[in-house]
Amino acid sequence: MIRADAAISSEHVSATYLYCIVKSAAKPSRVKVPAGLPGADGPHAIPVARSLWLIVAAVPLDTYGPEPLERQLADLDWVGRIALAHEAVVEYFAGRAGATVIPMKLFTMFSSPDRAVADIEKRKDGIAAAMRRIAGAEEWGVRIMRGTAAAPKPAPARAATGAAFLAAKKQARDDARLAKLAAVDVAAGAFEHLVSIARDARRRDDAPAAGASPPLLDAAFLVPASSRARFKSAAKREAGRCAEAGAQMTLSGPWPAYNFVQGDESR
């Protein structure tokens, strides 16, 4: 989560916080820009190269320096507030007409604006490739979970024989297994249908929280902005199919293309 410039030291009173990289013919406007991180000055653009800008802000090291930040990371509520403030700035610039945005990870900091520019210049080829990959597209998330267990069927009359009792038990197990397979199949079908509309897709395989069931599908889709309506309509149809199969689908977005900044070769 943290990517801090090693040159940041106790001699500094502030660091340069990097929200995102913006490709835009004109300097990105700050009109109605969100405030950004608490304690920081307003987000603003500095040039890197022709049509390439960094969105930065000065942050105080008594809050965001290595030692105080390490202590604050234990406070998940505080980290959540910072993440929301960071995301609001990224989304603001991603929503500007004619802009392509590469979002930075939370707590990406440099000792000075010059150090930030120098770091981006060293990686300009990879950044140019990422800009081409995500230009004119937005990220959508799809998550499919198994639904809550269906209400149990009315208990059958007491089996007349031992064989009938065992047959009933087997039928119950078979019904449960078939329901699980149906949910798995519908999740796989949803992915295939949605990926046919998207420019790219990434399955996410993060381990679930202890005791939680893993999702049937957790994926991000890079969707051309021109295909947004078609993608949402397809997602609505897939959500209906999931519900019929006893699964639940959640669609989220549009987001900046966090999951598509790195190419396949870097994953």
pLDDT of residue 146: 84
How is residue 179 written in tokens? 């329901």
- Cβ density class 230-259: b for 16+ within 10 Å, e for less: ebeebbeebbebbeebbbbbebebbbbbbb
Q: Walk along the chain (267 residues) and give the pLDDT tens digit of each residue.
A: 546 565 665 566 899 999 999 999 999 998 999 999 999 999 999 999 989 999 999 999 999 998 999 999 999 999 999 999 999 999 999 999 899 999 999 999 999 999 999 999 999 999 999 999 999 999 999 999 987 544 455 555 565 676 665 655 555 564 555 456 567 888 999 999 999 999 999 998 765 555 567 899 999 999 999 999 999 999 999 999 999 888 999 999 999 999 998 865 444
Q: Which residue has the tokens 């307003």?
A: 42
Q: CA 86 to CA 19: how far, in whole Å?
A: 7
Contacts of 208 (CB under 8 A, 6+ apart): 214, 215
Direct distance between the N- and C-terminal alpha carbons of the chain, in angstroms, rounded to an integer: 16
For the chain, domains (ranges, CATH) are: 3-134 (no CATH), 137-266 (3.30.70)
Q: How many angstroms from the chain centroid is the CA of residue 224? A: 17
pTM of the predicted structure, to 2 decimals: 0.76
Q: CA 188 to CA 203: how far, in whole Å?
A: 11
Torsion sign over Cα 74, 78, 84, 86? negative
Give the helix ranges, DSSP H, for 110-227: 113-122, 124-134, 162-195
pLDDT of residue 151: 46
